[in-house]
A and B are shown apart, each in its own frame.
Chain A
Amino acid sequence: MSTGKIENAESKAMILLLGLRRGGKSSICKVLFHNMQPLDTLYLESTSNPTMEHFSTLIDLAVMELPGQLNYFEPSYDSERLFKSVGGLVYVIDSQDEYMNAITNLAMIIEYAYKVNPNINIEVLIHKVDGLSEDFKVDAQRDIMQRTGEELLELGLDGVQVSFYLTSIFDHSIYEAFSRIVQKLIPELSYLENMLDNLIQHSKIEKAFLFDINSKIYVSTDSSPVDIQMYEVCAEFVDVTIDLFDLYKDSQQNEQKDKNSKAVHNRPRELKNVSQLGNDVIIYLKQMIRGLALVAVIRPNGADPESCLTVADYNVDILKKGLEEIWANARIHPKESS
């Protein structure tokens, strides 16, 4: 692998994805960033070279996957520079396999990473929990947390913050976990959260997410607790919108061309989708900047849904302007992409 690549990604927004072999690292990447069907990941081949996934939302993020059989402490390998350049380290533990080895391996990696780069975020995915029963999940998590703590204590590293997530690629838990991991790397997160808080206070919104349209990871949400079901509904709503829109996109474009052949080319409309449900709940999606979309669940609670929507539209427009401003100021040299 080229070390030049790492230096190019000058920001700290890179995540290292590590774990023992056959832990499910490539599957996670494929499902998250390539919309692969979870069942198809059964046929993935073993990864033998470090691979990078670039993923650009509000921040430019790169996820680097390291093969499991790699020995990071081989002197020839430039792991010091690598660990210094990343913002987060995600370690995948297969919960359905014997995980003692994995924990020992994890402790060694943490020791090294912490020595080189004390600011690194350490995240542990207790993966493949779809096959475990509810009780067993809790047991496994407690056990893994405890053992990791013991290992770290032995190495004299009891102060290190390690976050644990129960994940599976067959439901939305992996998206949720990655959302939280990515959020830790976004420096503007607190502003975003405040802005969304403001938005939902003033427009009868119950919950609002800023989604990355392609990966369905949410970059930010308001400060009320995230209900995983609510997240699922919103993520699926993004899918519905994109799929239906794509079906008729071509015919629409032809139409537009016929009509506006001489006129100035209209700027492409931003995606917007509003759905009303039986009990007056409204799901609202609007495209924001840089491949992000705001998805909100609006509960009118007796008020007129039309006026609720108008207020929401107005407020969302202001939010969008706010995002644009934050984005303009956040980058010293923005790469004009929108």
Chain B
Amino acid sequence: MSTNNRKKLLLMGRSGSGKSSMRSIIFSNYSAFDTRRLGATIDVEHSHRRFLGNMTLNLWDCGGQDVFMENYFTKQKDHIFQMVQVLIHVFDVESQEVMKDIEIFTRALKQLKNYSPDAKIFVLLHKMDLVQLDKREELFQLMMKKLQETSSEYGFPELVGFPTSIWDESLYKAWSQIVCSLIPNMAIYQANLKELQSVMDACEIILFERSTFLVISSSNATNGESLDPKRFEKISNIMKNFKQSCTKLKSGFKTLVINDNIYVSELSSNMVCFIVLNNSDDCQQMVLENIKKAKQFFQ
């Protein structure tokens, strides 16, 4: 599939599990509150997103009512399940009919096995905010164990799952990881980023995708405890809003420097880096020159 840069993502799950809400929050700048206004998805809603320049995400948001579902597995099965790169299956943790949810998941897997056996499978246990704090981990493990069994039966042994909720940063984290799994040279970016951090003596460098502002990589994967755990999502939100307000001046965003300390700059045509320096006395020209030099390593 290396020549094909159109990535087809299937977003499936039963009615009311929150698929369209996710899509709206991640890709259309909705706030969690705004998603109340969304109606039921009729049939399949397609959205196309250019991602990292040469990649196109084709998101198929499949309406989850039983009528449509039945259709996907019978009449439309070759249309829906062909050339799928990623299946994102959403489970509502509050659902009454867990067995039925799983059954639909297995039916989807069965079709995938026929039409696109290389697909990556992600499951999201959604609406986690409705579960008591101390029960969440246990519930997640239990459900994942069950789903893992089901999926390996159909030849998809490595199943990745995330607990998510639209009311905290977990949704953002999950999508970041899903999308990152589609990027071929992640390891190189990560290594380059570490290198850049040491060169610039930065407190933290975060790499964002330019149009969605999803986090691609961060230099502080492990030792960022002292910082706000929701910062990725917050920065992403702030910058998205700023980008929108830039369009009022009929222009796109290029760089931003706060107090000679926080630098936000385009790194390539599809990436934005967010750099926080340890030392705010560094000469601005020097920092900008460093960023310019770094650009070639992130093409």
Contact = CB atoms under 8 A, between A and B. Distances in A.
Nearest to B231: A247
A275 B249 contact: no
Interface string A238-271: 0111011101101110110000000000000101
A236 interface: yes
A335 B255 CA distance: 39
Given A39-B33, A273-B256, A281-B251, A233 B246 contact: yes
Given A244-B235, A252-B261, A274 B203 contact: no
A275 B259 contact: no
Given A233-B246, A244-B238, A248-B276, A278 B251 contact: yes
A251 B226 contact: yes
A259 to B, nearest CB: 9
Contact of B248 (A232, A241, A269): A232
A279 B259 CA distance: 23
A273 B262 CA distance: 9
B227 interface: yes
Contacts of A250: 226-227
Contact of A272 (B33, B252, B258, B278): B258
Pick the most buried of B203, B242, B280: most chain A CB atoms within 10 A of its CB: B242
A247 B248 contact: no
Contact of A278 (B227, B234, B253, B258): B253
A276 B257 CA distance: 9
A274 B246 CA distance: 13
Contacts, number: 96
Given A248-B262, A281-B251, A274 B276 contact: no
A271 B261 CA distance: 11
Interface of B is mostly: mixed
B29 interface: no
A282 to B, nearest CB: 10
Interface residues on A, range: 20 to 34
B79 interface: no
Nearest to A278: B252
Nearest to A228: B248
Contacts of B226: 250-251, 254
A275 B253 contact: yes
Contacts of B259: 245, 269, 271-273
B154 to A, nearest CB: 43
Interface in B70-102: none
Contact of B203 (A243, A248, A273, A276): A248
A229 B262 contact: no
B245 interface: yes
B152 interface: no
Contacts of A124: none
A92 to B, nearest CB: 26
Interface of A is mostly: helix
Contacts of B262: 244-245, 248
A237 interface: yes
Contacts of A283: 249
B251 A273 contact: no
Interface in B240-272: 241-242, 245-246, 248-262, 264
B235 A247 contact: yes
A230 B245 CA distance: 9
B289 interface: no
A277 interface: yes
Contacts of A272: 258-260
B13 to A, nearest CB: 28
Contacts of B257: 273-275
Interface string B223-234: 000111001001
A297 interface: yes
Given A39-B33, A247-B228, A269-B280, A237 B245 contact: yes
A245 B257 CA distance: 11
Contact of A229 (B33, B248, B258): B248
A271 B260 CA distance: 10
B245 A233 contact: yes
Contacts of B253: 275, 277-278
A243 B258 CA distance: 11
Nearest to A275: B256
A269 B259 CA distance: 8
Contacts of B276: 248, 251
13 contacts: A230-B248, A230-B249, A237-B245, A245-B258, A247-B235, A254-B226, A272-B258, A273-B256, A275-B253, A275-B254, A276-B255, A277-B254, A279-B251
Interface of B: 33, 203, 226-228, 231, 234-235, 238-239, 241-242, 245-246, 248-262, 264, 276, 278, 280
